A and B are shown apart, each in its own frame.
Chain A
């Protein structure tokens, strides 16, 4: 084994230029792979995180059917039973009740369709980043019955300023229209232009009053621990509260567009990477074939001395795997500092910020890579090197000594 390793390793450096070219190809491959992967991970994670942190939470509990029609008639009248369970449920970090509905927001200048979210201000702080997104005025104070938070885009559209008056019109649970006047208490700005154009926040009591909901909530938003088993938690909630018609929906179900984008992106990544690996494996086959041809006589001599074909096969395979290992190590050493830098400082895409806002992304993309991504990339390169070397290695091992010796 020692001999095999020694010969294979030294063979690598017999033609340093050729080995350097192949190692460079592997370095470029692993570099492109890790940088692309960490960038895409950064984009996808940011989309998911923004969606979860600005509104959805990781999971929401609704009365069945509410998610589809947002009819406040479908509300949970006895939320205490649910919250008591959530207080002791494993994996639940925090939760906040909401009363939601659709309606119309009007100023003296204009009006617009809107989603009205009635919140418990203190509890909501532990769930979403609305409070931290206030750029003018104040967050909702407990008991601030006629104060409303609107997005910057909405404020621009309605031409209202801080302290300005607006009117909300909603459908009540009694199927009637009701209106109430509010003063703009705060203006927020998130990285999602859609969000800023569409969501307004009022105290939960005000939402109940305007929608004529005597008691209860339309939904409860959850944040979970990092290692929480979402499937198990969802199943537990659904089983336990089926009798009151409540169901839990994960963020993937609440925002299927994003979860589908994540899924499609991963598939595209796979296609892109397979294409890279195919090109790399062709390069390896070509290079190792030349290496075998160059050493044909030498292989003949060692075969004549009694070296078994499996030794020759292993030698060529090991040489390629060594090349792969060196390429992976150099590629990793080159790419990791860049990934680390952009994971801390972020990659500025300010010039595309408007377009990015449409996708719920900020102007800075923070690279993100997991240990297993690096492991999978390295293993993929090794597998590619293995398949790339396989044909030349088989050819070398099958050389007939007498023919190989004649080859000079």
Chain B
């Protein structure tokens, strides 16, 4: 089953009278359980593509689907709801809500989804244990290392069992060893729970660990799109 599908997705940014095409007719599709990286040099359109798939930005033309949902043309409220129920996000930095503990950060999305307190607590504790943060549930983000913060972010992204987790350069701010450990953890979650991951990177180590690679250059898919 296809979890993500884009068809001729284009995005043109306009700065004054200057138009810049960030994506040009990009068509890719991801199956359930795939672990895919979007790779390419800076300015190749990786983040733009993730933003469009995640419903954070609107395309200039083309279509994007999350499962059966055509997200292009959705209203703001519908997009919020779609992101809440179907997509998990991991960002490069400043990912967590600083005033909430690790446990509360993980519970956040489920709280918005209306999951009961008991289930929320049980699932959050379990996933924090799985990402190796048992005993750090009450720590605030400022009390955690960069690697630990990203683990919390991964736990938060996967805990509500989304259709896909979109990760924008999740290892960019981590040292190689911590980055590798984070990747191994995400791969394990992919193996054990069948969660679909799409992450952007320009690091060779991350690329090598991914099971599928989609290459972008100048806003065009040059390899691995379909």
Chain B associates with chain A: yes
Q: Are A308 and B80 in contact (CB under 8 A)?
A: yes
Question: Which residue from A6, A306, A309, A401 sits with its C-beta under 8 Å from B84?
Answer: A306
Residues of chain B within 8 A of A303, CB atoms compared: 80
B14 within 8 A of A: no
Q: Are B98 and A304 in contact (CB under 8 A)?
A: no
CA distance A67 to B224 in the complex (A): 103
- Segment at the B interface, from A7-15, A103-111, A365-373: A7-15
Chain B: which residue is nearest A3 at the CB level?
B111
B100 within 8 A of A: yes
Shortest CB-to-CB span from A396 to chain B, Å, is 14
Q: Are B85 and A306 in contact (CB under 8 A)?
A: yes
Known: A301-B95, A306-B81. A7 touches B56 (CB 8 A): no
CA distance A301 to B90 in the complex (A): 9
A402 within 8 A of B: yes
Q: Are B99 and A405 in contact (CB under 8 A)?
A: no
A408 within 8 A of B: yes
Residues of chain A within 8 A of B51, CB atoms compared: 402
Q: Are A298 and B76 in contact (CB under 8 A)?
A: no
Residues of chain B within 8 A of A14, CB atoms compared: 98-99
**Chain A-chain B contacts (Cβ-Cβ < 8 Å), number:** 63
Q: Are B99 and A309 in contact (CB under 8 A)?
A: no
Shortest CB-to-CB span from A383 to chain B, Å, is 27
Q: Are A302 and B97 in contact (CB under 8 A)?
A: yes
Shortest CB-to-CB span from B63 to chain A, Å, is 18
Shortest CB-to-CB span from A310 to chain B, Å, is 9
Residues of chain B within 8 A of A311, CB atoms compared: 112
Q: Are B109 and A305 in contact (CB under 8 A)?
A: yes
Chain B: which residue is nearest A295 at the CB level?
B98
Known: A402-B51, A405-B56. A305 touches B108 (CB 8 A): yes
Question: Which residue from B95, B98, B109 sits with its C-beta under 8 Å from A306?
Answer: B109
CA distance A405 to B93 in the complex (A): 10
- Residue among B80, B81, B91, B108 facing the most chain A CB atoms (10 A cut-off): B80
Q: Are A402 and B108 in contact (CB under 8 A)?
A: no
Q: Are A304 and B108 in contact (CB under 8 A)?
A: no
CA distance A22 to B206 in the complex (A): 47
Question: Which residue from B82, B93, B94, B99 sits with its C-beta under 8 Å from A10?
Answer: B99
Q: Are A7 and B85 in contact (CB under 8 A)?
A: no
CA distance A297 to B99 in the complex (A): 14
Known: A10-B99, A305-B89, A305-B108. A298 touches B94 (CB 8 A): yes
A286 within 8 A of B: no
Chain B: which residue is nearest A12 at the CB level?
B99
A307 within 8 A of B: yes
B77 within 8 A of A: yes
Q: Are B57 and A306 in contact (CB under 8 A)?
A: no
Q: Are B57 and A298 in contact (CB under 8 A)?
A: no
Shortest CB-to-CB span from A289 to chain B, Å, is 19
CA distance A402 to B80 in the complex (A): 12
CA distance A11 to B98 in the complex (A): 9
CA distance A14 to B99 in the complex (A): 8
Q: Are A401 and B95 in contact (CB under 8 A)?
A: no
Complex interface residues of chain B between 42 and 71 (CB less than 8 A to chain A): 51, 54, 56-57
Q: Are A298 and B98 in contact (CB under 8 A)?
A: yes
Q: Are A304 and B83 in contact (CB under 8 A)?
A: yes
- Residue among A6, A308, A401 facing the most chain B CB atoms (10 A cut-off): A401
Q: Are A298 and B97 in contact (CB under 8 A)?
A: yes
Shortest CB-to-CB span from A103 to chain B, Å, is 80
CA distance A298 to B77 in the complex (A): 19
Shortest CB-to-CB span from B45 to chain A, Å, is 14
CA distance A18 to B43 in the complex (A): 39
Residues of chain A within 8 A of B93, CB atoms compared: 408
Pick the 8 closest A-B CB pairs, nearest first.
A306-B84, A10-B99, A306-B83, A402-B56, A402-B57, A401-B56, A3-B111, A304-B89
10 contacts between A and B (CB under 8 A): A7-B99, A297-B94, A298-B94, A302-B108, A303-B80, A306-B82, A306-B112, A308-B112, A309-B76, A405-B56
Question: Told that A306-B109, A308-B77 touch, could you supply 18 new A-B pairs with CB distance under 8 A?
Answer: A3-B112, A10-B100, A14-B98, A14-B99, A298-B97, A301-B89, A303-B80, A304-B54, A304-B56, A304-B83, A304-B91, A305-B84, A306-B82, A306-B85, A306-B87, A307-B84, A402-B51, A408-B94
